[in-house]
C-alpha cells in the first residue's frame, strides 16, 4: 500500500469512528462497535491477552488446529485459497496453512492496513512460495475477491478466534451470508466458536489479574481522543467484564467513575456516575445453537472439532 493510500484509509477510518461514536453515544445504553478496540496499541494489547494464563481461547483453538489438522486437510482437499476474515497476527493462519494440502493462496481481509501487513508478513516468511495477497476491507461488509486467487480450486473461508461471537444474532447471520456471497460458489468455511462453560472461567478470561484486558478496553478512549477529537479522561473510567446469563455472552464495559461530560464533533455527551459504554459482546455457544445459526445463514455444518475439556470448537461449514 502506498503512502497516499494509507493516508486515505486512515482518514476514512477516522470519519467512520466519529460516525459510530456519535451514533453510539446518542443511544441508550451507550455503545461502540468492538472493531474500534483494535488500533495498533489495541492489537498489541490483545496479542498480550492471548498469552495470559486466564485466556484459554487462543491456545485451545491452536491446539484443535494442530491435533485435527490432517482431518481438516482431508475434508477441505488440495489447492484451496484461504480467505481469513480478520487475520490477527497470522499465527493461526500459519498453523492452518501448514496442515492443508498445497494451498494456492492466502488472502487476509481486514480494515486496518498495519494489522494486515503483520499477518501477511508472518505467512509470507513461513511459506515463501505461497501467493499472499492482503485485502483492505471491512470484512463485516461485502467485498470483492475477483482475480485474487487465480489457480485455486476453491476458497476456504477462515474465521477463527470466536469473532462470530462479537455479533448479535442478526449481525452474525448477515456476516455469514455475506461471507458466502464473497467466497467462490461451493466454498467452505472454517469457523471458530467459543463454548458455554463455567462463569468463573469466562470472567477470569475477560478480566485478568494483570490488568491487560482493562488496558485494552481503556485504550479505546485514547483512540477516540486521538482520532475522533474527543476529550475523554481515561482515568475517570474503569473496565468491567460481565456475564449476561440470559443472552449467554460476556460483555465488556467502560464504566464512568463520576458524573462527567465529553465533547465530540461539537456535541456534548453526559455520563452519570456508574453509566457505561458497552464496548464488546462475546457470545458463547452451545453446539445446537450454533448449528441452527449457520444453517439459517445458508451453510451446512459438516464437521466439528473440539478439545478434551470442550472449551472451544472449530466447525467446517459447506455452502
Helix (H) or strand (E) holding 251: strand 249-256
Of 218, 221, 229, which Cα lies nearest the Cα of 264? Answer: 229
d(CA 317, CA 314): 10
- Taking only the tens place, the pLDDT of each residue in 263-279 is 999 999 999 999 999 99
d(CA 264, CA 225): 9
**Pairing, β 312-318 against β 300-306:** antiparallel
Q: Got the DSSP string for 95-117?
A: HHHHHSSS--EEEEEES-HHHHH
Query: What are the residue boundaries of the structural domains of the chain, listed by start?
Result: 25-53+203-283, 68-197+286-318
d(CA 179, CA 255): 34
d(CA 263, CA 240): 23
Spell out a b/e string for 21-57, using b for 16 or more CB atoms within 10 Å of the CB, else e: beebbeeeebbbbbbbbbbebbbebbbbbbebebbbb
pLDDT lower than 70: segments of the chain: 1-3, 5-6, 9
**Taking the model in full, what pTM does it have?**
0.90
Q: Are 83 and 145 in contact (CB under 8 A)?
A: yes
- The pLDDT assigned to 248 comes to 98
- The pLDDT assigned to 40 comes to 86
| Residue 95, all three cell numbers | 498453523
- The pLDDT assigned to 142 comes to 80
CB atoms within 10 A of CB 303: 15
- The domain made up of 68-197+286-318 is a member of CATH 1.10.8.420: no
- The pLDDT assigned to 111 comes to 79
Amino acid at each position: 500500500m502506498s503512502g497516499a493510500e494509507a493516508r486515505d484509509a486512515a482518514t476514512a477510518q477516522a470519519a467512520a469512528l466519529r460516525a459510530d461514536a456519535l451514533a453510539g453515544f446518542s443511544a441508550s445504553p451507550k455503545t461502540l462497535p468492538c472493531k474500534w478496540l483494535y488500533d495498533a496499541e489495541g492489537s498489541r494489547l490483545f496479542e498480550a491477552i492471548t498469552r495470559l494464563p486466564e485466556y484459554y481461547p487462543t491456545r485451545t483453538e491452536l491446539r484443535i488446529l494442530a491435533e485435527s489438522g490432517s482431518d481438516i486437510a482431508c475434508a477441505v482437499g488440495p489447492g484451496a485459497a484461504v480467505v481469513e476474515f480478520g487475520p490477527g497476527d497470522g499465527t493461526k493462519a500459519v498453523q492452518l496453512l501448514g496442515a492443508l494440502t498445497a494451498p494456492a493462496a492466502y488472502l487476509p481481509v481486514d480494515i486496518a492496513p498495519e494489522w494486515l501487513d503483520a499477518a501477511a508478513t508472518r505467512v509470507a516468511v513461513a511459506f515463501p512460495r505461497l501467493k499472499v495477497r492482503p485485502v483492505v476491507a471491512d470484512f463485516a461488509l461485502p467485498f470483492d475477491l475477483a482475480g485474487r486467487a487465480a489457480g485455486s480450486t476453491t476458497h476456504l473461508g477462515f474465521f477463527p478466534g470466536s469473532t462470530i461471537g462479537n455479533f448479535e444474532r442478526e449481525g452474525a447471520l448477515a456476516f455469514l451470508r455475506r461471507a458466502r456471497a464473497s467466497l467462490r460458489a461451493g466454498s467452505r468455511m472454517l469457523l471458530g466458536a467459543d463454548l458455554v462453560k463455567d462463569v468463573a472461567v469466562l470472567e477470569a478470561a475477560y478480566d485478568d489479574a494483570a490488568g491487560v484486558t482493562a488496558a485494552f478496553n481503556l485504550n479505546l478512549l485514547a483512540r477516540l481522543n486521538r482520532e475522533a477529537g474527543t476529550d475523554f479522561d481515561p482515568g475517570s473510567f474503569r473496565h468491567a467484564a460481565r456475564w449476561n446469563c440470559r443472552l449467554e455472552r460476556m460483555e465488556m464495559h467502560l464504566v464512568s467513575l463520576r458524573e462527567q461530560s465529553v465533547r465530540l464533533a461539537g456535541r456534548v455527551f453526559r455520563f452519570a456516575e456508574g453509566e457505561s459504554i458497552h464496548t464488546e459482546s462475546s457470545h458463547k455457544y452451545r453446539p445446537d445453537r450454533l448449528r441452527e445459526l449457520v444453517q439459517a445463514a445458508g451453510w451446512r455444518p459438516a464437521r466439528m472439532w473440539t478439545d478434551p475439556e470442550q472449551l472451544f470448537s472449530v466447525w467446517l461449514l459447506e455452502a
